[in-house]
Amino acid sequence: MEINRIGRDVSVLSDQLEVPGIGFLPVNAFVLHGAEPVVVDTGLSLPGRGYLDALGAVIDPADVRWIWLTHPDRDHTGALFELLELAPRARLITTYLAMGIMSTERPLPVERVYLLNPGQTLDAGGRTLTAFRPPLFDSPATVGFFDHSSGVCVSSDCFGAPMPTAELATCDDVANAPADALHAGQLLWAAVDSPWVHNVDHDRYLATLAPLRTFDPAVILSTHLPPAPGRTAEFLDRVATAPDADPWVGPDQAALEQMLATFEPPEPHPVS
């Protein structure tokens, strides 16, 4: 994992996954430093990703007071239960629906849950966080937030885009990505992650962009995009066109067999 810093009080724990035929998908988690530190999401549910090591490099987990789970997909919950053990004073911010979804695999410690719905606010040690539902999402339990102290907006999956290289996927500013790749990637990701967007009432969909236009965040932090300072108006205009973009159709069995025919397994590591 790479560790990037946004201003004085936000750390980005940047991971990535190669998705054949799509690109390198950023997978980020975040730490908001302050009197009551907030950890946002807990990384991939794959072995050996180094999430807790990266987290420990920017904060003592015992100091974490809040864990904000943007939604209970497995690329957001990897080290959740380990972190709850390492951060005994932390409370888990989530929704009733997300709590129910999580309980189908492993029950959450309900006494440590803090339920927060879109439109509600949380005071995290003088840091005011306003919860909202992002315009695009793949889980009905998704809740992002706007931090009034720093001007940072955590948008969960919304505004994501696969990157052309692994290095770009974990870089510290999306401005490093080619503009055309970013434009195409965000519309592709909207179609992949939120396929329902092609069936919405346009006016009602556009109305969901209003909270973000009102917040006008200085920085957008998406789980699936490098940090994006100063891009809010551009990104909102882009996702406004998502209903009219081409739907995504995944590979079928014939395409899979073609991929397997050309697949070259990685070289085995020598045993020392």
**CATH code where residue 184 lies:** 3.60.15.10
Specify whether the CB–CB gap between 197 and 135 falls below 8 A: no
Q: Return the pLDDT at 260.
A: 87
Q: Would you say the pTM of this structure is higher than 0.75?
A: yes
Distance, in Å, from the CA atom of 99 to the CA atom of 227, rounded to the nearest integer, reads 28
Examine residue 261 and state whether it is found in any structural domain, yes or no: no
pLDDT of residue 269: 54
In a domain, 70, yes or no: yes
Q: How many domains is the chain built from? A: 1
The domain in which residue 16 lies consists of: 2-253
Q: How would you write the pLDDT of the chain (272 residues) with one tens digit per residue?
A: 999 999 889 999 999 999 988 999 999 999 999 999 999 999 999 989 999 999 999 999 999 999 999 999 999 999 999 999 999 999 999 999 999 999 998 999 999 999 999 999 999 999 999 999 999 999 999 999 999 999 999 999 999 999 999 999 999 999 999 999 999 999 999 999 999 999 999 999 999 999 999 999 999 999 999 999 999 999 999 999 999 999 999 999 999 898 888 877 766 655 54
Strand 23-32 relative to strand 91-94, pairing = unpaired
Q: CA-CA distance, 233 to 249, in Å (whole number)?
A: 29
* pLDDT score for 272: 45
pLDDT at residue 264, as a whole number: 72
The number of beta carbons lying within 10 Å of the beta carbon of residue 27 is 25
Q: Does residue 270 form part of some domain? A: no
Contact by Cβ (8 Å): 220, 213? no
For residue 272, tell me if it sits in a domain: no
Residues with Cβ within 8 Å of 229's Cβ and at least 6 positions away in sequence, in order, are 6, 173, 218, 219, 220
The pLDDT assigned to 262 comes to: 82
Both tokens assigned to 96: 């009733």
Three-state helix/strand/coil letters over 201-217: CHHHHHHCCHHHHHHCC
Q: What is the pLDDT of residue 268?
A: 64
The residue count of the chain comes to: 272
Distances (CA, A) of 264 to 20, 25, 108, 259: 13, 21, 41, 10
Residue 161: predicted pLDDT? 98
Question: Is 39 a member of any domain?
Answer: yes
Report phi then psi at 135, rounded to 5: -60, -35
- Amino acid in position 180: D
Residue 210 in any domain: the answer is: yes
For position 139, what pLDDT does the model report? 97
Tokens (6 digits) for 38: 């907030």
Residue 259 lies in a domain: no
∠ Cα 204 210 212 (to 5°) = 135
Question: What is the residue whose two structure tokens read 């932090």?
Answer: 221
- The separation between CA 147 and the C-alpha centre of its own chain, rounded to angstroms, equals 16
Q: Write down the residue that tokens 């490099």 correspond to.
A: 57
Residue 105 lies in a domain: yes
The residue behind tokens 């807990």 is 42
Alpha-carbon gap, residue 241 to 243, rounded angstroms: 6
What pLDDT sits at residue 20?
86
